[in-house]
Amino acid sequence: MIRFEKVTFGYNTRRILNELSLTIEDGEKMAILGGSGEGKTTILKLIVGLIRPDSGAILIDGEDITGKSEDELNDIRRKFSIVFQQGALFDSLSVKENVAFCLREYAHMTEAQIDEKVRELLRLVDVEPAISLMPDELSGGMHRRVAIARALAVAKPKMMLYDEATAGLDPVNSDNICRLIVELSKTGMGHIMVTHKVVDALKVAERFVFLEGGKPIFDGNADALLQSTHPHIMVFVDELRYRPAAGS
């Protein structure tokens, strides 16, 4: 379980999160929505301790992580895998070496075991034929799938964290990534998807949080989101009305 208790965070004089309180249960399928700069990605970074709050507490399974050292945070981070926007693959490494990187760093495996594990993960995300390609040879959708495989490489996490997983992708590839997220969640992992695309959020999530002014202005299910009369939420939901029908 993840609990934010009156968490405040800012960069220099700009406050991003303002006494944010939020609880996320194990296995939840959540989407965090909102405009640019509203703190969506900041929440993911706070969960894994990449940044620390200015005030408030963040509890992971009842344990306050805000004062922990980097070594102490490593055990916390193993509970999550995070896929950053654009995938963030190493440009100089092949697909195989990108996925194998963390296995070589953190797992006690032979080269034969690493090769077998890499192929297993690439099959899971349906890109094994690309194993020898370099990142600049991949399509946007393949790049994102390889990034997900790399995120799964070390251990099976309790929760996947996706930062704008479908940003910059065409509708077909966006839909494929959403399907993959849903398939992975069937293994028991929860997920948090940060996005500004309501269309994609509706495909993967059961709970929706909309951020504005550093805290949630909405927290509920899909029906409640679509029926919201808040003007800023209605602007986001309007994208559904103007989306072309399949095949048009």
pLDDT digits (tens, 9 = 90+) for 201-241: 999 999 999 999 899 999 999 999 999 999 999 998 887 76
Report whether 43 contacts 32 (CB < 8 A): yes
In this prediction, residue 104 carries a pLDDT of 87
pLDDT (tens digit per residue) in 67-119 = 999 989 988 888 999 998 766 788 999 999 999 998 887 778 899 999 999 99
Give the E-state strand segments of 137-248 in sequence order. Answer: 159-163, 190-194, 207-212, 215-220
Tell me the C-alpha distance between 146 and 235, whole Å. Answer: 33
Extents of the domains making up the chain: 2-19+37-241
Query: What are the pLDDT digits (tens) for 122-161?
Result: 999 999 999 999 999 999 899 999 999 998 886 678 999 9
Residue 248: the pLDDT is 43
Structure-token pair, residue 145: 């799938």
247 pLDDT higher than 50: no
Q: How many CB atoms lie within 10 A of CB 214?
A: 18
Helices (H) and strands (E) in the chain, counts: 9, 10
The helix (run of H) or strand (run of E) holding residue 191 is strand 190-194
Radius of gyration of the chain (CA): 18
Q: Is the pTM of this model over 0.85?
A: yes
Token pair belonging to 2: 């993840």
Count other C-beta atoms under 10 Å from residue 65's C-beta.
Answer: 22
Return the pLDDT at 143: 92
pLDDT above 70: residue 17: yes
CATH class of 2-19+37-241: alpha beta
How much is the average pLDDT of 170-198? 92
For position 242, what pLDDT does the model report? 57
Tokens 């048009």, residue? 248
